[in-house]
């Protein structure tokens, strides 16, 4: 076990990626994740790996795409407007079935928005964002330790399914400092070029073409069916969710990332007043833990969804419940993060006079 | 029979299949030159070609190497990704004028500026061939296309982009040239340019680009022979053949 080190989120994610064996980083400066490329620019030469500052996020994601096609562990990070620029690459990477990991340190939008923490990219991250029918695995950590632990998991999932994994961390997690422990360092000398990768034909019997194109509709349908089959398998096997104080809960909060963390404090405050409330926290927001939520429908009186946006994940909560229970919402936009007390106050408005 | 000598054959990287190119199009010539060099220089098995969006979108079916299909304009960025993590591979991008000089000009200029150790073959046929002949950044003044139906007008559409001349002003690129595919003499000269460009990468000297002035008989609405004559009469005076940047060590 390693020691605990006090680190800023945007740097901890970089070190975690290096420890997880990221051999190359491509990115472009954007607040609030500048410490990530800065950290990589210092550390990658030290470990003999690649850091390259691209001319734009468009170029960065296509560098990632090229490097991913060689079966190399590659990592990129950006923030909301930059992630929007990358969506073209996301779509191509999806239909090319190549693995990579990208972090989105979300800031306030739409447009240029601001540089304060937000969760307004949930739709973009979980519903596609780019063109065509595709998904990326989307992981939403709520502490720096979890973020660090999930980076290695993200690479493993990316390679297991040959898919892009996106870590969505809001600006708060990117900018805050916490003690973190790096539990594992991957031995990169054991990396081998996978059999599907394009590094020149060499001694292989057949050459390899990686493309997202098939001009024959039947061929493209086949590519799509392959993707959908992969997505169903991921939905079955890779859901990650935390249920917090749900055993005796009469109400359930649903939240991810920073809002889930704040909600845990809200829950303690509520319970000190005798209100039995728990939290269902999707760790993967795609695949979404629909079954976990559905399973609690008969237990709780209502669900209370809280996010740093106008209400995005709430749609998936409602789909999971299919009308079985009411779902209320409290959100803040523009990069404003509410306190645990504010969340509690909003939550209590739905109790109908009980516990007042 | 025994004293017969092979003087002409299909280069081994060329696939035994029909191409998707129009009759008389010089894409086939460009493909052949690349394939001849890959064979002669023994590069086929270590090559990754990044193909473009445009007429050559299916190029990986015609030259048999490991291959990637880039998004429109992004070939140099994608090639950068490959080359940085696997520097032992020989990485080519094959791009048309719209791809490289319009939507992908940022990726191209920055790959050149970084002296990225990759090689670009740039086919300039003065229009967007695959989408039906729209105006390209290389469309000549006065040239009629489907989106410049009254002829390209400077006051409305600006001027053609001379990519090699632009790149040659920079410190990053090692070898920048423009050849033409309109006659045998020019084709043989183009092969020499390409060979230098390939060698530039093999010697680790940095970015190399060869523009090949090409035809588009279908969208120019000409016979193949007329289209080659047009290259000589109208295109080469604007886009002259030449080597624009040759750093020390290129040969």
Q: What is the mean pLDDT of residues B133-150?
A: 98
Q: Which of A340, A297, A10 is nearest to A167 (CA)?
A: A10
Q: In percent, how much of chain B has pLDDT > 90?
A: 97
Asked if residue A273 is part of any domain, the answer here is yes
CB contact under 8 A, B110 and A54: yes
Structure confidence at residue A356 (pLDDT): 46
Residues A81 and A104 in one domain: yes
* Residues of A with Cβ-Cβ distance to B90 under 8 angstroms: 200
Report the DSSP beta bridge partners of residue B177.
Answer: B210, B243
Using a CB-CB cut-off of 8 Å, the residues of chain B touching A198 are: 48, 66-68, 82
Average pLDDT taken over every residue of chain B:
97
Task: Give the whole-angstrom CA distance, residue A258 versus residue A252.
Answer: 17
Identify the segments of chain A with pLDDT beneath 70: 1, 353-356
Q: Do A157 and A42 share a structural domain? A: yes
Residue A21 is given by DSSP the state T
| Phi, psi for residue B92 in degrees, rounded to 5 | -115, 145
pLDDT band of B67, cuts 50, 70, 90: very high
Residue found by looking up tokens 């106008």 in the block: A310
- Are both A31 and A97 inside the same structural domain? yes
A24, A26, A198 ranked by CB distance to B68: nearest: A198
CB proximity A54 to B under 8 Å: yes
Backbone phi, psi, residue A195, to 5°: -70, -15
Is the Cβ pair A66, B78 closer than 8 Å? yes
Backbone angle region of B24, left / alpha / beta, with phi > 0 → left and psi within -120 to 50 → alpha: left
Q: What's the gap in Å between the CA of A296 and the closest CA on chain B?
A: 44
Which residue in B49, B65, B66 has the most chain A C-beta atoms within 10 A of its own C-beta, making it the best mutation to test that interface? B66
A108 and A257 in a single domain? The answer is no
Question: Total structural domains in chain A?
Answer: 2
User: Do residues A118 and A57 share a domain?
Assistant: yes
Q: Does A199 touch chain B (CB under 8 A)?
A: yes
- In sequence order, the β-bridge partners of residue B208 are B119, B175
Instruction: Write the burial class of residue A91 (CB in 10 Å: 0-12 exposed, 13-18 middle, 19+ buried).
Output: buried
Q: What pLDDT score was predicted for residue B132?
A: 96
Residue contact A201–B106, C-beta within 8 A = no
Asked, as a colleague might, if the bond just before A160 is cis with ω within 30 of 0, I would say no
Q: Do A63 and B57 touch (CB under 8 A)?
A: no
Query: Which residue of chain B has the CA closest to A193?
Result: B86
Per the structure, the complete domain to which residue A125 belongs is given by 4-200+225-237
Model pLDDT, residue A171: 87
Query: Do A65 and B89 count as a contact with CB atoms less than 8 A apart?
Result: no
Does A54 fall in a domain?
A: yes
Annotate A273-292 with DSSP letters as a single string. Answer: TT--EEEEEESEEES--HHH
**Closest of A121, A178, A189, A180 to residue A151, by C-alpha:** A180
3 state SS of A185: coil
| Whether residues A153 and A287 fall in one domain | no
pTM greater than 0.80? yes
Show which of A237, A265, A297 is a domain's final residue.
A237
Mean pLDDT of B114-119: 98
The tokens describing A340, both together, are 């645990």
- The CATH number covering residue A112 comes to 3.40.50.970
Q: Based on the fold, state whether residues A82 and A123 are members of the same structural domain.
A: yes
Of the candidates A185, A208, A237, which is a domain's last residue? A237
A210 occurs within a structural domain: no
Same domain, residue pair A141 and A289: no
Report yes or no on A177 lying in a domain: yes
CATH architecture of B27-246: 3-Layer(aba) Sandwich (3.40)
Asked whether residue A353 is domain-assigned, the answer is no
CA distances, B148 to each of A237, A284, B113, B152, B227 (Å): 54, 50, 32, 5, 19
What number of C-beta contacts closer than 8 Å exist between A and B? 130
Q: Which chain A residue has its CA at the smallest distance from B62's CA?
A: A209
pLDDT at residue B54 in the model: 95
Residue A133 belongs to a domain: yes
CA count, 13 A, side-chain hemisphere, B246: 15
CATH of the domain at A332: 3.40.50.920
Contact between A54 and B47 using a beta-carbon 8 Å cutoff: no
What is the CB neighbour count within 10 angstroms for residue A218?
A: 7
Q: Tokens 């394939």 appear where? A: B35
- Residue B110 contacts A where some CB pair is shorter than 8 Å: yes
């Amino acid at each position: 076990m390693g020691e605990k080190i006090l680190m800023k989120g945007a740097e901890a994610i970089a070190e975690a990626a290096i420890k997880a064996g990221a051999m190359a980083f491509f990115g472009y400066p954007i607040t609030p994740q500048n410490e990530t490329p800065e950290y990589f620019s210092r550390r990658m030469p030290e470990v003999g790996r690649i850091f390259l500052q691209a001319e734009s996020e468009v170029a960065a994601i296509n560098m990632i795409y090229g490097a991913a096609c060689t079966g190399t562990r590659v990592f990129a990070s950006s923030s909301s407007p930059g992630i929007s620029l990358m969506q073209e690459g996301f779509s191509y990477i999806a239909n090319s079935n190549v693995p990579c990991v990208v972090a989105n340190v979300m800031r306030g939008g739409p447009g240029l928005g601001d540089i304060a923490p937000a969760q307004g990219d949930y739709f973009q991250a979980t519903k596609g964002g780019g063109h065509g029918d595709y998904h990326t695995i989307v992981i939403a950590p709520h502490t720096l330790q979890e973020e660090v632990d999930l980076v290695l998991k993200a690479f493993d999932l990316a390679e297991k399914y040959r898919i892009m994994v996106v870590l969505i961390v809001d600006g708060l997690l990117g900018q805050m400092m916490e003690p973190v422990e790096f539990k594992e360092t991957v031995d990169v000398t054991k990396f081998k070029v996978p059999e599907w990768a394009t590094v020149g034909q060499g001694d292989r019997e057949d050459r390899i073409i990686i493309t997202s194109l098939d001009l024959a509709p039947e061929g493209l349908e086949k590519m799509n069916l392959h993707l959908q089959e992969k997505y169903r398998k991921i939905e079955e096997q890779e859901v990650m969710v935390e249920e917090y104080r749900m055993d005796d809960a009469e109400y359930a909060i649903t939240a991810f990332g920073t809002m889930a963390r704040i909600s845990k404090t809200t829950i303690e405050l509520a319970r000190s007043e005798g209100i039995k409330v728990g939290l269902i926290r999707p760790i993967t927001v795609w695949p979404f833990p629909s079954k976990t939520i559905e399973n609690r429908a008969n237990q709780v009186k209502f669900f209370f969804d809280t996010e740093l946006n106008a209400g995005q994940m709430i749609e998936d909560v409602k789909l999971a419940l299919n009308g079985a229970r009411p779902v209320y919402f409290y959100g803040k936009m523009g990069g404003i993060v509410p306190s645990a007390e504010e969340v509690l106050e909003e939550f209590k408005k739905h109790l109908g006079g009980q516990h007042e | 029979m025994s004293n017969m000598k092979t003087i002409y054959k299909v280069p081994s990287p060329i696939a035994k299949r029909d191409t998707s190119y129009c009759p008389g199009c010089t894409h086939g010539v460009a493909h052949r030159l690349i394939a001849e060099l890959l064979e002669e220089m023994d590069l086929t098995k270590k090559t990754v070609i990044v193909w473009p969006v445009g007429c050559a979108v299916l190029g990986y079916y015609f030259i048999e190497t490991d291959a990637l299909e880039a998004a429109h304009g992004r070939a140099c960025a994608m090639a950068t990704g490959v080359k940085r993590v696997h520097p032992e591979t020989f990485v080519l991008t094959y791009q048309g004028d719209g791809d490289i000089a319009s939507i992908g000009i940022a990726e191209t200029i920055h790959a050149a500026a970084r002296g990225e150790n990759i090689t670009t073959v740039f086919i300039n046929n003065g229009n967007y061939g695959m989408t039906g002949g729209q105006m390209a950044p290389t469309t000549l003044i006065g040239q009629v296309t489907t989106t410049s139906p009254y002829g390209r007008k400077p006051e409305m559409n600006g001027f053609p982009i001379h990519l090699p001349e632009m790149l040659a002003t920079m410190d990053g690129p090692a070898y920048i040239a423009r050849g033409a595919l309109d006659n045998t003499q020019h084709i043989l000269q183009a092969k020499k340019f390409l060979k230098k460009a390939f060698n530039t990468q093999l010697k680790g000297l940095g970015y190399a680009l060869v523009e090949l002035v090409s035809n588009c008989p279908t969208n120019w609405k000409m016979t193949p022979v007329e289209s080659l004559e047009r290259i000589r009469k109208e295109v080469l005076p604007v886009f002259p053949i030449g080597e624009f940047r040759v750093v020390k060590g290129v040969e």
